[in-house]
Structure 1
Amino acid sequence: MKGIIFTEFLDIVESAFGMEVCQQMLDEAFDEGSYTAVGSYDHKDLVKLIITLSKITSVPAEDLQEVYGKAVFTRLLESLPIPVDGQTSTFTFIKKVEEHIHIEVKKLYPDATPPRFEFISETESQMVMDYRSARCMSHVCLGLIKGCAEHFNQTIEVEMEPIVNDQSHVRFNILLAA
Structure 2
Amino acid sequence: MKGVVFTGLLEMVEKRFGYVVANNIIIKSNLPSEGIYTSVGTYDYKEMQSLVKQLSDETGISGNDLLEAFGTYYFDTLASKAVGFFSVSDGLFVFLSKVESYIHPEVLKLYPDAQLPTFIIEEYSDKRVQLLYQSRRRMEYFAFGLIKGAIRYFGEAAEVRMQIKESGDTLFIISKQ
Q: Distance in 1 between matches of 2:17 and 2:154?
A: 27
Select 2:74's aligned residue among 72, 76, 94: 72
Select 1:89's aligned residue among 88, 91, 114: 91
Q: Distance in 2 between matches of 1:117 and 1:83?
A: 16
CA gap of 1:65–1:83, structure 2 versus 1, over 3 A, is: closer
Match of 2:2 in 1: 2
How far does residue 22 in structure 1 lie from its aligned partner after superposition?
0.8
How far does residue 83 in structure 1 lie from its aligned partner after superposition?
4.2
Select 1:158's aligned residue among 137, 157, 160: 160
Judge conservation of contact 2:67–2:142 (CA < 8 Å) in 1: yes
* Alignment-mate amino acid for residue 142 of structure 1: F
* Alignment-mate amino acid for residue 41 of structure 1: Y
- Once structures 1 and 2 are overlaid, which stretch shifts more, 151-160 or 14-23? 151-160
- Name the TM-score, length of structure 1 as normaliser: 0.92
How far does residue 84 in structure 1 lie from its aligned partner after superposition?
2.6
Secondary structure of 2:163's aligned partner? strand
Q: Distance in 2 between matches of 1:81 and 1:6?
A: 21
- Where in structure 2 are the equivalents of 1:1-178 lying within 5 Å? 1-31=1-31, 32-80=34-82, 82-164=84-166, 167=168, 169-177=169-177
Q: Deviations over 1:34-93 (max 9, x none)?
A: 001111111110111001100111100000000000001021233339443142311111
Judge conservation of contact 2:71–2:144 (CA < 8 Å) in 1: yes
Judge conservation of contact 1:70–1:145 (CA < 8 Å) in 2: yes
Which consecutive unaligned segments of at least 5 residues does structure 1 have? Answer: none
* Alignment-mate amino acid for residue 102 of structure 2: H
Judge conservation of contact 1:89–1:149 (CA < 8 Å) in 2: no
- Name the TM-score, length of structure 2 as normaliser: 0.93
> Greater share of helix residues, 1 or 2?
2
Q: Deviations over 1:136-155 (max 9, x none)?
A: 00000000000001001112
How far does residue 111 in structure 1 lie from its aligned partner after superposition?
1.5
* Alignment-mate amino acid for residue 162 of structure 2: M
Q: Report the RMSD for the aligned CA atoms in angstroms.
A: 1.5
How far does residue 156 in structure 1 lie from its aligned partner after superposition?
1.8
Q: Distance in 1 between matches of 2:85 and 2:173?
A: 27
